[in-house]
């Protein structure tokens, strides 16, 4: 973005108008020549009969390009026949049907924004979503303009032997008649009409692995994953994941792949995780490469999930796309729902659910309560890149999940079938998605749609009353939603609350007063209450004893639940509830209460080293450790104390140090009390077992490493040695990193030298593997050590760090400011000053990444006044920068309001 005098303008949903022209056919020619790459585009345009306006002129999007020529129907235009500015090209007089030829020069070599056509290490690649295509050629760069693409790429043969674009290869060869030409070309044709944001091009010296998939109707599809040669040994897991995803989408949604070839390309420099370009997905290496020696369990699972996500977009996003960018959640919320249910099916459903809910409740809830809060379908934006948010993705997923649960599996499948059939080849809205669900179910979802239009996290306040004589239990649920920037007062939501009642010996049968039992589900211990009013009371009768309510099972709605559970109730839920999610949630709530006890003592100035910790937590944990019948993954999750970020979410004013030290104190006391049980778990693990990324083995490793993490708080020399052994001899990166992270944070005697040695040996061994180096940076950036910021500053000068590579920035700067609260929120404000410096530097280099780094600053009002003042200062320093990108401007200005 260049400097502007005027403030950037917001785009409004209510201003949507259909395009004045359609682009039937798009023919592109790329002459790749480094900093002077020439793009020739031939577009066939027709006036849109559905347009509401009829102007003589036509404006195309285009930026950061040099115009060489423009012609209509083969006739070159004079300079008074068009107007060119920083963001557009206006043709002053256009016929109803015409062919437009533009020639422009672009500079991918120096394109650090990683948007449009750019160079990543040795290869050229593109990123067009959301509005990057306008940096490649002049176009109607909006998702409701869909076109058939023909793409020819011409490049140096030796440097760029592989030339790829969307669809099918239709021609390739040397350039010209010269048999000794050093340049070659390839022409690709994509028969499926698509918006420009799904365009992709890749040119590089790439190797690939190949496999095949036979679709349910018997079509053969070639599958290829392209990487730099050094990464060929890390593609197998992605290929397996892809085949699983293809089969799953046929079985679960009846969706088949629709081209003869499906390609994935891995690139090192990428702003996000991956991109669903038609037939040619482009991936951040971090989301596609995996092998046991270099990749953690979480990494393996990320690859499986992201490969599936991008593949699923072929239907939910590409075949049926978005009318405008306000509808982003139409494809993202739905596709996250699809990838989440896929991952649940591939591994452990409860673990997957707990992970997703943790993310939502810590980060999405914080977003929804802050200055950037917006509805799942926003009403306005300044820069659309800022709206690829947890709200659009994760809350959007929850909204689809609620629909799926309200309709039930059969009707939901009918609904998605109808949606795909009705809208194949169209650009549609979230209204259209819900309309398909209404059509198949006969339900009125008018109120439900408020989930798309109202921001903010609803709060359910639950009170109850037990009538011993009548054997009746009255449950009253009130809903409210705090104001957010787009609306002060909210109308009630339609909220499904899945629930059951727990007696002393287990689940109790549910008899809703005045309601016949549900004939369909044989299960009378589980039900879904549908809230639609500000307050509703539900009465259950014929109960033998006062129950403990099990509420919001499997997290049936994205809300905050307030019910005053006693600690004994929570212990009962932890061991006795049928719902795995609720058992885990009870363990979290109990731990929060116990940590909050210690926080109070801390605030009073007590010495919390020997804090008294409620025995009920210790006893509950002991039962978990000793019960060998339990799922290890569940035990590991339930033993993991709530994160500092989630604890921060629980209070109005965030006391960073109190949270950190109290959590650590509770962990230490628990470790001391359960030392023998923890050691037994740790020692039972066979460290020579060959690595497999299966749910079962992942569970075993995670429980063992949770045990290690507790034990390491005891700072005993013997344990330090065991940890060092694990670090040194582990045969997989999960165990190596778990141990390294404990070594980095250990306060045991002698830990300093062990840490230094481990870190330097690690780097020497792994320096040629960028994704491993990222983990090495991250573990240091998140160290609790008081000198962590100084380390981060040093690391920025280390050869391991690449200043403009998003993965490196996220591993060092992002990790420090998001996942190292005690050091980021240093009382002297140096953490804030550091982050502001990074944002100001990146503002020019890569505005998308710069704007994302602002997230921790958007929470500034949640901290004590002294920190607020320092954060505000940092924000004001950024705001004063004269050439702010739209991206950074939007977040800073909304945050300072």
Residue 644 near which of ligand TRP, Zn ion, none (CB within 5-8 Å, type-dependent): none
Q: Does 101 bind ligand TRP (CB under 6 A)?
A: no
Of 322 and 510, CB closest to Zn ion = 322
Site for ligand TRP in 305-324 (CB under 6 A): 309-310
For residues 840 to 859, the per-residue mask of contacts with Zn ion, x marking binding by CB under 5 A and - elsewhere, is --------------------
Interface residue with ligand TRP among 198, 202, 238, 275 (CB under 6 A) is 275
* SS3 state at 380: strand
Stretch that binds Zn ion, among 327-335, 772-780, 800-808, 842-850 (CB under 5 A): 327-335
- Smallest gap from Cβ 313 to Zn ion, in A, equals 6
Total residues contacting ligand TRP (rule CB under 6 A)?
Answer: 13
Q: How far is CA 808 from CA 269, 276, 800, 801, 819, in A?
A: 9, 23, 9, 6, 15
Interface residue with ligand TRP among 164, 246, 272, 308 (CB under 6 A) is 272
Which helix (H) or strand (E) segment is 742 a member of?
A: helix 733-745
What the block records as the tokens of 161 is 């032997």
Q: Does 269 bind ligand TRP (CB under 6 A)?
A: no
Q: Give the CA dihedral 708, 710, 713, 717, nearest 10 degrees.
A: -40
Contact 312, 249 (CB under 8 A): yes
The rounded distance, in Å, linking the Cα atoms of 361 and 401 is 16
Of 124 and 419, CB closest to Zn ion = 419
Interface residue with ligand TRP among 37, 113, 152, 271 (CB under 6 A) is 271
Residue 274 near which of ligand TRP, Zn ion, none (CB within 5-8 Å, type-dependent): ligand TRP
Residue listed under structure tokens 């921001």: 455
310 is catalytic: yes
Q: Does 332 bind ligand TRP (CB under 6 A)?
A: yes
Total residues contacting Zn ion (rule CB under 5 A)?
Answer: 2
CA neighbor of 636 nearest in space, from 297, 306, 303: 297
Collect contacts of 302-306 with beta carbons under 8 A, ≥24 apart. 303/237, 303/238, 303/241, 304/237, 304/241, 304/244, 304/343, 304/346, 305/339, 305/340, 305/342, 305/343, 306/273, 306/274, 306/339
Of 20 and 131, CB closest to Zn ion = 131
- Smallest gap from Cβ 310 to ligand TRP, in A, equals 6
Site for Zn ion in 333-372 (CB under 5 A): 335
Of 164 and 275, CB closest to ligand TRP = 275
Site for ligand TRP in 380-419 (CB under 6 A): 385, 388
Name beta bridge partners: 538: 475
The rounded distance, in Å, linking the Cα atoms of 209 and 890 is 42
User: What would the DSSP string read from start to end of 858-890?
Assistant: HTGGGS-HHHHHHHHHHHHHHHT-TT--HHHHH
Residue 294 near which of Zn ion, ligand TRP, none (CB within 5-8 Å, type-dependent): none
Which of 27, 310, 383, 398 is catalytic? The answer is 310
Rg (the chain; Cα; Å): 28
Q: Does 127 bind ligand TRP (CB under 6 A)?
A: yes
The rounded distance, in Å, linking the Cα atoms of 655 and 651 is 8
- Smallest gap from Cβ 236 to ligand TRP, in A, equals 22
Quote the distance between the C-alpha of residue 564 and its chain's center: 32
- Smallest gap from Cβ 306 to ligand TRP, in A, equals 8
Stretch that binds ligand TRP, among 4-12, 271-279, 811-819, 875-883 (CB under 6 A): 271-279
Residue 388 near which of ligand TRP, Zn ion, none (CB within 5-8 Å, type-dependent): ligand TRP
Which helix (H) or strand (E) segment is 417 a member of?
A: helix 409-423
- Smallest gap from Cβ 161 to Zn ion, in A, equals 30
Q: What is the 3-state secondary structure (H, E, C) of 279-325?
A: CEEEEEHHHCCCCCCCCCHHHHHHHHHHHHHHHHCCCECCCEEECCH
Site for ligand TRP in 484-513 (CB under 6 A): none
Residue 364 near which of ligand TRP, Zn ion, none (CB within 5-8 Å, type-dependent): none
Q: Does 130 bind ligand TRP (CB under 6 A)?
A: yes
The rounded distance, in Å, linking the Cα atoms of 241 and 346 is 10
First to last CA, the chain: 23
Q: Residues interacting with Zn ion, by CB under 5 A? A: 332, 335
Q: Residues interacting with ligand TRP, by CB under 6 A? A: 127, 129-130, 271-272, 274-276, 309-310, 332, 385, 388
Q: Annotated catalytic sites, by residue? A: 310
């Amino acid at each position: 973005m260049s400097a502007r005098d005027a403030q950037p303008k917001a785009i409004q949903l209510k201003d949507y108008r259909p395009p004045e022209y359609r682009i039937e056919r798009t023919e592109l020619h790329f002459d790749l020549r480094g900093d002077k790459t020439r793009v020739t585009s031939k577009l066939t345009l027709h006036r849109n009969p559905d347009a509401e306006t009829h102007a003589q002129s036509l404006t195309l999007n285009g930026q950061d390009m040099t115009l060489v020529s423009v012609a209509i129907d083969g006739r070159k235009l004079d300079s008074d026949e068009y107007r060119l500015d920083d963001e557009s090209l206006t043709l002053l007089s256009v016929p109803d049907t015409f062919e437009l030829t533009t020639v422009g020069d672009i500079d991918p070599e120096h394109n650090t924004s990683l948007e449009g056509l750019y160079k990543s290490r040795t290869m050229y690649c593109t990123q067009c979503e959301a509005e990057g295509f306008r940096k490649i050629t002049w176009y109607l760069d909006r998702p409701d303009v869909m076109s058939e693409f023909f793409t020819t790429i011409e490049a140096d043969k030796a440097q760029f032997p592989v030339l790829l674009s969307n669809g099918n290869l239709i021609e390739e060869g040397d350039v010209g008649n010269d048999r000794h030409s050093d340049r070659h070309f390839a022409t690709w044709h994509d028969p499926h009409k698509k918006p420009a944001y799904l365009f992709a091009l890749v040119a590089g010296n790439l190797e690939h692995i190949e496999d095949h998939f036979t679709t349910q109707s018997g079509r053969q599809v070639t599958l290829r994953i392209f990487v730099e040669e050094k990464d060929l040994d890390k593609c197998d897991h992605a290929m397996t994941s892809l085949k699983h995803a293809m089969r799953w989408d046929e079985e679960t949604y009846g969706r088949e792949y629709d081209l003869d070839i499906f390609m994935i390309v891995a690139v090192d420099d990428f702003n996000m995780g991956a991109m669903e370009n038609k037939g040619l997905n482009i991936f951040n290496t971090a989301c596609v490469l995996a092998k046991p020696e270099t990749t953690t369990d979480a990494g393996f699972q990320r690859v499986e999930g992201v490969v599936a996500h991008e593949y699923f977009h072929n239907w939910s996003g590409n075949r049926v796309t978005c009318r405008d960018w306000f509808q982003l959640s139409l494809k993202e919320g739905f596709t996250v729902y699809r990838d989440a249910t896929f991952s649940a099916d591939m591994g452990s459903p409860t673990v997957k659910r707990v992970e997703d809910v943790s993310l939502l409740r810590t980060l999405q809830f914080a977003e929804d309560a802050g200055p950037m809060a917006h509805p799942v379908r926003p009403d306005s934006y300044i820069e659309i890149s800022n709206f690829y948010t947890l709200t659009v993705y994760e809350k959007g997923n929850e909204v689809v999940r609620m629909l799926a649960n309200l309709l039930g599996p059969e009707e939901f499948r009918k609904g998605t079938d109808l949606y795909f059939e009705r809208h194949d080849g169209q650009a549609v809205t979230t209204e259209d998605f819900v309309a398909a669900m209404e059509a198949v179910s006969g339900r009125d979802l008018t109120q439900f749609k408020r989930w798309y239009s109202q921001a903010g996290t609803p709060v359910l306040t639950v009170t109850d009353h037990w009538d011993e004589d009548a054997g009746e239990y009255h449950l009253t649920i009130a809903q409210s939603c705090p104001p957010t920037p787009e609306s002060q007062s909210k109308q009630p939501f339609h909220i499904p609350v899945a629930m059951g009642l727990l007696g002393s010996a287990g689940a109790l049968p549910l008899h809703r007063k005045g309601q016949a039992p549900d004939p369909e589900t044989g299960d009378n211990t589980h039900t879904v209450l549908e809230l639609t009013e500000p307050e509703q009371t539900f009465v259950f009768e014929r109960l033998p004893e006062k129950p403990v309510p099990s509420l919001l099972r499997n997290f049936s709605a994205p809300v905050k639940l307030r019910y005053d559970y006693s600690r004994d109730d929570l212990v009962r839920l932890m061991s006795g509830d049928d719902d795995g999610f609720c058992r885990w949630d009870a363990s979290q709530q109990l731990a929060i209460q116990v940590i909050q006890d210690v926080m109070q003592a801390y605030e009073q100035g007590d010495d919390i080293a020997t804090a008294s910790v409620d025995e009920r937590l210790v006893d509950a944990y002991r039962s978990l450790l000793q019960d060998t019948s339990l799922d290890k993954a569940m035990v590991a999750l339930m033993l993991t104390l709530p994160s500092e970020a989630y604890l921060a979410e629980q209070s109005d004013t965030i006391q960073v140090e109190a949270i950190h030290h109290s959590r650590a104190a509770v962990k230490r006391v628990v470790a001391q009390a359960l030392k023998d049980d923890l050691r037994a778990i740790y020692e039972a693990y066979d460290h020579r077992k060959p690595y497999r990324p299966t749910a079962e083995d992942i569970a075993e490793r995670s429980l063992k490493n949770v045990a290690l993490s507790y034990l390491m708080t005891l700072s005993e020399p013997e344990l330090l040695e065991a940890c060092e052994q694990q670090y040194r001899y582990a045969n997989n990166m999960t165990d190596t990193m778990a141990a390294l992270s404990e070594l980095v944070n250990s306060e045991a005697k002698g830990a300093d030298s062990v840490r230094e040695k481990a870190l330097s040996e690690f780097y020497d061994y792994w320096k040629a593997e960028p994704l491993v180096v990222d983990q090495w940076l991250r573990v240091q950036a998140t160290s609790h050590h008081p000198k962590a910021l100084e380390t981060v500053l040093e690391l920025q000068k280390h050869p391991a760090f690449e200043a403009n590579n998003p993965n490196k920035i996220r591993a060092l700067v992002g990790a420090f400011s998001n996942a190292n609260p005690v050091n980021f929120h240093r009382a002297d404000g140096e953490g804030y000053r550091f982050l502001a410096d990074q944002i100001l530097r990146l503002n020019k280099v890569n505005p998308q990444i710069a704007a994302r780094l602002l997230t921790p600053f958007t929470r500034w009002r949640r901290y004590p006044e002294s920190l607020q003042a320092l954060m505000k200062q940092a924000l004001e320093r950024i705001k004063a920068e004269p050439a702010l990108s739209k991206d950074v401007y939007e977040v800073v200005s909304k945050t300072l309001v």
